[in-house]
Amino acid sequence: MKILSINAGSSSMKFTAYEMPEEKVLISGYIERIGIEGSFYTIKINGEKIKKEIKVVDHKQAFEIIVNELINYKIVETLDEIKAMGHRVVQGGSYFDKSVIVNEDVLKKIEELSPLAPLHNPAAITGIKAAQEVFPNALQVVVFDTSFHQTMKEDKYLYALPYEWKEKYNIRKYGAHGTSHQYVSIRANELLKKQNTKLITCHLGSGASISAVVNGKCIDTSMGLTPNAGLIMGTRCGDIDSTIIPYLMRKGKTIEEIETTMNKQSGFIGISGKYSDARDIMQGCLENDPRAILARDMFVNRVVDYIAKYYFEMNGCDAIIFTAGIGENSFYFREQILNRLSIIGIHLDKEKNEKCIGEEAIISTKNSQIPCYVIPTNEEVMIARDAYNLL
């Protein structure tokens, strides 16, 4: 049975076609700069990566491109072979604790929650509606980044604000990257050969979050009402003193200016003054750039803070997992983080860590009290699994 996983952004679309339930990848691709000059897409099939430049005016055309490539590469003969499509949606609020089949009520709720994910939810709606047009006979399913975190208890997800604000304005911690945290926690349990585990999952990339996972369920996570909470990120500030906002407004800054700065001009780029990418931060550190070093140290401090917090919150830990762009590929940042955790019996295997780039591996020594793993995330297969199960 063939199923498509879709991750639609405002000007991009990632897709992967799977043969299910075998979870065999048939073809994958990434369409970029939709509706923008210079649009193009890349296809990966049989280990080969092919780039094609083409004008892509909207998401409907993006799906038509997918259709053409599925037929061109003989993945399908007709669209009816695609039985279901799973769509990633960032914000599901308190409405959704699991993936669901698309209907009008689901779309209305996704739209209602758009202010909590203004860059993501509207794009997802556009993608879903375009998919309904191009694939009218496929079951459409939505998979929410926030669902995995709905197992948090009230004392973890509430802010110390008037309780009524939660009921009236939906102000609470929702988290993000849930599909990734869930995938790596499932894989970690397979590696540990047990289900009753206490895990700290570190999704470290341009966007970053850490979760505490007990027996396969999230009990706490670093992101909050929006993805701009918790860790320092590529362009996002993460946790700050909330009084900074009214203070700056009294100094003449508008709320729009402050919001843009906190989301797009802070984090690595704000501290270093020139780098939003962790690879550039690392290079700057190697060249003794003082502000790159400052950005690194602030990032590492915050990651260590959350790992330590969750270690004590869970009263121990069976494994620490690194995933996503930095977590999977940067031995440099993993070393910086884990060397700070020797107090809880963690010992890094320097050689294993440096060899591990984008692949699954254990990077701690045999005498480390807590094993530390790198597990590449696979949100697309989680989306496909949920679409298959709902079908």
**Alpha carbon of residue 299 to chain centroid:** 18
Distances (CA, A) of 318 to 98, 179, 269, 328, 334: 26, 21, 34, 19, 18
Residue 285 in contact with residue 299, Cβ under 8 Å? no
Q: Are strands 372-374 and 139-144 parallel, antiparallel or unpaired?
A: unpaired
- The residue assigned the tokens 């995933």 is 323
The answer to whether the beta carbons of residues 289 and 297 sit under 8 Å apart is no
Q: How, if at all, do strands 100-101 and 139-144 pair? A: antiparallel
At residue 302's C-alpha, the angle toward residues 296 and 303, to 5°, is: 90
Helical ranges in 314-355 per DSSP H: 324-329, 331-338, 350-355
Q: How far does the chain reach from its first CA to its final CA, in angstroms?
A: 10
Residue 382: both structure tokens together:
């989680």
Contacts of 176 by beta carbon, 8 Å cutoff, 6+ apart: 90, 91, 145, 146, 207, 209, 223, 227
Task: Report residue 207: phi and psi, to 5°.
Answer: -100, 140
DSSP assignment, residue 285? H
CA separation for the pair 233, 120 (Å, rounded): 17
Q: Known catalytic residues?
A: 145
Q: How many CB atoms lie within 10 A of CB 363?
A: 24
CA pair distance 22, 9, nearest whole angstrom: 28
- Burial profile 64-81: b = 16 or more Cβ within 10 angstroms, e = fewer: ebbeebbeeeebbeeeee
Helices (H), the chain: 59-72, 104-112, 121-134, 154-157, 163-169, 178-192, 244-250, 255-264, 267-272, 278-286, 290-313, 324-329, 331-338, 350-355, 379-390
